[in-house]
Amino acid sequence: MSHPGLAPRRVAVRLLDGVIGKEALLPDLLTSGIMDKLEPSEKARAQRLALETLRWMDRADRMLGPFLRNKPELMVHNVLRLSVVELCLEGAAAHGVVNAAVEMVKADKTHKHASGMVNAVLRKIDPAKWQTLPAPQLPKWLRKPLIGDYGKKTVAAMEAAFAQGAPLDLTAKNDAAALAKTLGGEVLPTGSVRLQDVGQVSALAGYEAGDWWVQDAAAALPAKILNAKAGERVLDMCAAPGGKTMQLAATGADVVAIDVSKKRMIRLQENLGRTGLKATLRVTDALNWTESLFDAVLLDAPCSATGTIRRHPDLPHAKDGADFPGLFKLQERMIDHAVSQLKPGGRLVFCTCSLLPDEGEIQVEDALKRHDGLQVEPILLAGIEPDWNTPEGGLRIRPDYWAERGGLDGFYIAVLRKAQGQ
């Protein structure tokens, strides 16, 4: 007879193998059919176990290190990591965790020889030592450049924020205060509603009525900063899944939203339908899009997404930075194309959910050199902290900001104004 809870554990290990061994992102794995045979509660548990193991993997490896002579093969290593997280973070009963781990390894023909080692190692784990260890560190390929940009102390603060995960932030369609009162949340200084310890999102009051949508508080800032007006013609240049599009549409602006992903745009159309908001949607490559000019453009450019690790702990384990130079060049091209789509005097909000200055401050500095008459405008928005401002005129938001409230996604945001005569 299989050990109770074995099925979600096995799937969690397969998810870890996919992220760490095949450099696949967790959202792609979750929709690949890997969880099709699980019950809904088992799917939730498998996903949670995988996320927590990825989030705390560095600390789990520190716990395991003294008892491993050699680095185990990946599947075995991931069984050990997951088991340590269950023992130390979740406080699961040791006998159940150890027995399940041994059974998983025994059932694998390639790795069954390691079942004795797994049993011996896990029985030596002392959960009391867990809290004595530092916050999980990012992989070296990312940690080293971030330290170069921010220093060790700041990177350690960001790592602590990544380890804690993220609460649920909502953008209210109308009244944030009323929504917070209904759901028992907090209205943040910038207007988002933050909830702690949320269960099923779609079961929350107001979901079916379209009163709100999920959107990290930092991700909600670019559309607020753009400050679209009723009747203005606005382009959301990389729109899906659509949080910013809905913010823009709620202002009464004439919004055109484009994205290259048909699947993601279907989701955006569904969200617009749920919230009763309207926008013109087009599935196309943003660099190929040309139409009559716009009063304003919002460009949330494709980027490394290094600012979102508190919600997506798979990112630093599925990537190695090899694609970053290509992303930097793509962002340059997209900024140039966005400027070409502006009316004279029009404004562009450029943003990335990245911590890398190459995808933020440096992009803006370079864009100003390429475009005569382009200027950075100061950002004036309620709730913005003074130390978020950067020398070139943008905002640099870090995960460790508002740590006592649950942190923020890392973001860079700038407003660029096109000269009247261009």
Does residue 353 have an active-site annotation?
yes
Tell me how many degrees the CA angle 133-137-138 measures, rounded to the nearest 5: 165
CA distance 363 to 406: 29
Q: Strand 342-352 vs strand 233-236: parallel, antiparallel, or unpaired?
A: unpaired
Catalytic residue among 88, 303, 351, 353: 353
Q: CA torsion 258→231→270→242, rounded to 10°?
A: 50
CA distance 359 to 355: 8
Nearest to 268 by CA among 245, 231, 294, 241: 241
Q: Strand 186-187 vs strand 212-214: parallel, antiparallel, or unpaired?
A: unpaired
Provide φ and ψ at 194, rounded to 5°. -110, 130
**Token digits for 255?**
């919004």
Bridge partners, 264 (sequence order): none
126 Cβ contact partners less than 8 Å away, ≥ 6 residues apart: none
* 8 Å CB contact between 173 and 211: yes
Q: Maximum Cα–Cα distance for the chain, whole Å?
A: 77
Bridge partners, 214 (sequence order): 170
Nearest to 396 by CA among 418, 364, 348, 366: 364
Report, as residue numbers or ranges, the catalytic residues: 353
